[in-house]
A and B are shown apart, each in its own frame.
Chain A
């Protein structure tokens, strides 16, 4: 046991031989966690409505009603500007749609004449198409109120003609206001019914960013265990070990214990930072610890396996970084898995990091308990055993 601890201590000394290692151990993970968590939270809390630039050349009550109906619809965010500013923003790609309400809009409508709205859309933009639908729906709502007011005036004239044009206009305005109120108060034809959900399921950008960054920043140095192994092989220190009563399993255990212990410390620091600074609710502590421990074992065992195959320290370090980034991207650590096509969402579960990320998300945002994440822990432990066995079998001293 002493020998294992001595090897672990030696590896710790070697890893922190340069103060810059602290940068990778805690400083950069914290900075990236903050940046990515804030970005993800910002994405989650930002106004997701589609921007629509509006040039209101009419300025009458009906044109303002049209803009208000657009706003109330909730799917677009109209922004009224003068023609030049709107054109400039549209050209810059700041919004996918530019709506121009022509002068004489209200007068023509009151006269019962059709009016063409000028709508420019960004080509091939899905958001532009969505904005077009929202504008058409809003125009239809305004038209329905006008039709109702026209019908009302016609019906009133059949009963008793108006004394003069002003009496007729006043009746039209009153009818239009009543129609608009009735339309606004009309119930939706489609009602969404949702079951009462007892469990918390709320996307947390901070948790997504923090958990993802933690897994990637811990995974890369654990895979870097391969670099330490190949360095010992190349410099001859491993051969020297053979002249001591130190078995292969003792050496590997010492190496694994050292790097694994450091990874647990690193993960606990990052979890603590997330909880205290970013107010992340990670979920049941025992379950979170279980996920982190299983993930650490799986990752360090992968490092041992890699160490048996690589030929140089540079190769090991390059592969560690590359695999860390690729696995990070594919495991949902950089963005939610829901962004992937359905088939891909299933394939990526071959990567242990995906299970870890999913388990942390389940615990933190879906309110799951220890039992629910046991399959994830089981998969990671099984992969750890497999990687370690391959690493031991292919281990070489030269």
Chain B
């Protein structure tokens, strides 16, 4: 049984249909990507999952059934907006939020220390939240989401406002939690982050599923009939190639329908080319995203 199972969710706010038909399942221990352009319905879908909103139709099963008050302590949610108390000192704010998740103050303080050090926030613990930079506040948000050691982590745009160093720190933390068996649902519109972390994804557009499944499989399904090649020297003339376009420091060869990648490789070998790189050209998630959303 999936840890989270969302089935045909619908939610409207007045005349606006925020979620029209969204379904997906998240398996225990995986990192799942909830993707979509701005306004696609990602945040509303998350809030429906968390019982913040009631759906107009559809069902949500989380940790083997509907959401209950007791289950809320087993879930960590990081909202997109900075839901921290700006006037409170950082440490007091994080401890308070942890106590709402069922931790005692003593436990919360004890668990907080290593996280503050990991994210380089220990020296800012007494500062008011509003005195911290955007990135520091985002790191504080991440800490408040994981401090009570949840079984499911739901993060809405987790790397928003983080510089590359802190983004890597946050990714490392997510991977560490993933290794410990925590189920992670990550909502974002920044595709390359998904490619690095997620096993499976659902892509939502205009409140509906448009792509869903294993990430590698999706990329294969959307790949064109092309290979990427890098050779030492000039690329010789090859039969069956329709077009040659530069791609980073390699070349992308678009093949006609009768020519297979293996035949191209054989031609290169037979012409004694020094091959440095040869691969099936899979589209990036960004390219798939743009293709699918523009088709919609």
Which residues of A are interface residues toward B (Cβ below 8 A)?
2-3, 6, 9-10, 13-14, 17-18, 235-237, 239-247, 397
Contact partners of A18 in chain B: CB under 8 A: 87
Given contacts A10-B85, A239-B79, 17 further A-B contacts (CB under 8 A): A6-B99, A9-B96, A10-B92, A10-B96, A13-B89, A235-B81, A235-B86, A237-B83, A237-B84, A237-B85, A243-B52, A243-B72, A243-B75, A244-B72, A244-B101, A245-B73, A397-B52
Q: How large is the interface on B (under 10, 10 to 19, 20 to 34, 35 or more residues)?
A: 20 to 34
The reply to whether B79 and A3 contact each other, CB–CB distance below 8 Å, is no
The reply to whether B85 and A14 contact each other, CB–CB distance below 8 Å, is yes
| Leading 5 A-B pairs by shortest Cβ distance | A17-B87, A240-B83, A245-B69, A236-B83, A244-B100
Residue of B nearest to A237 (CB): B83
B51-71 interface bits toward A, Cβ cutoff 8 Å, 1 = contact, 0 = none: 110000000000000000110
Distance from B235 Cβ to chain A, minimum over Cβ atoms (Å): 55
Instruction: With a 10 A CB-CB cut-off, give which of B51, B77, B100 has the most chain A CB atoms.
Output: B100
The reply to whether B52 and A239 contact each other, CB–CB distance below 8 Å, is yes
Contact partners of B92 in chain A: CB under 8 A: 10, 13
The reply to whether B87 and A241 contact each other, CB–CB distance below 8 Å, is no
Contact partners of A9 in chain B: CB under 8 A: 96
Instruction: Decide if B146 is an interface residue (CB 8 Å cutoff).
Output: no
Chosen A-B contacts, 20 in total, with CB atoms closer than 8 Å, are A2-B99, A3-B99, A6-B96, A10-B88, A13-B87, A14-B88, A17-B128, A235-B86, A236-B79, A239-B79, A240-B97, A243-B50, A243-B52, A243-B72, A243-B75, A244-B72, A244-B73, A245-B69, A245-B73, A245-B102
Contact partners of B79 in chain A: CB under 8 A: 236, 239-240
Distance from A346 Cβ to chain B, minimum over Cβ atoms (Å): 44
Residue of B nearest to A244 (CB): B100
Instruction: Decide if B82 is an interface residue (CB 8 Å cutoff).
Output: yes
Counting residue pairs across A and B whose Cβ atoms lie within 8 Å, the total is 64
The reply to whether B83 and A239 contact each other, CB–CB distance below 8 Å, is yes
A6–B92 Cα gap in the complex (Å)?
11
The reply to whether B84 and A3 contact each other, CB–CB distance below 8 Å, is no
A239–B85 Cα gap in the complex (Å)?
13
A245–B99 Cα gap in the complex (Å)?
11
Partner of A3, one of B52, B87, B88, B100: B100
Distance from B23 Cβ to chain A, minimum over Cβ atoms (Å): 22
A228–B93 Cα gap in the complex (Å)?
16
A243–B155 Cα gap in the complex (Å)?
13
Contact partners of A236 in chain B: CB under 8 A: 79, 81-83
A247–B82 Cα gap in the complex (Å)?
21
Residue of A nearest to B75 (CB): A243
A246–B100 Cα gap in the complex (Å)?
7
Residue of A nearest to B81 (CB): A236
Contact partners of A241 in chain B: CB under 8 A: 100
Contact partners of B75 in chain A: CB under 8 A: 243
Distance from A253 Cβ to chain B, minimum over Cβ atoms (Å): 14
Contact partners of A14 in chain B: CB under 8 A: 85, 87-88
Given contacts A13-B88, A243-B50, A243-B77, contact A6 B100 (CB under 8 A): yes
Residue of A nearest to B148 (CB): A244
Residue of A nearest to B84 (CB): A237
Distance from A226 Cβ to chain B, minimum over Cβ atoms (Å): 17
Contact partners of B84 in chain A: CB under 8 A: 235, 237
Contact partners of B77 in chain A: CB under 8 A: 240, 243
Residue of B nearest to A18 (CB): B87
Partner of B70, one of A237, A239, A240, A245: A245
Contact partners of B97 in chain A: CB under 8 A: 240
A110–B88 Cα gap in the complex (Å)?
89
Contact partners of B87 in chain A: CB under 8 A: 13-14, 17-18
Contact partners of A17 in chain B: CB under 8 A: 87-88, 128
Instruction: With a 10 A CB-CB cut-off, give which of A6, A239, A244 has the most chain B CB atoms.
Output: A244
Distance from B102 Cβ to chain A, minimum over Cβ atoms (Å): 7
The reply to whether A242 and B102 contact each other, CB–CB distance below 8 Å, is no
Distance from B76 Cβ to chain A, minimum over Cβ atoms (Å): 8
Contact partners of B73 in chain A: CB under 8 A: 244-245
Contact partners of A10 in chain B: CB under 8 A: 85, 88, 92, 96
Contact partners of A235 in chain B: CB under 8 A: 81-86
A188–B55 Cα gap in the complex (Å)?
88
A236–B77 Cα gap in the complex (Å)?
13
A242–B75 Cα gap in the complex (Å)?
12
A333–B262 Cα gap in the complex (Å)?
94
Instruction: With a 10 A CB-CB cut-off, give which of B50, B85, B87 has the most chain A CB atoms.
Output: B85
Contact partners of B47 in chain A: CB under 8 A: 239
Which residues of B105-142 are within 8 A (CB) of A?
128
Distance from A374 Cβ to chain B, minimum over Cβ atoms (Å): 40
A2–B106 Cα gap in the complex (Å)?
13
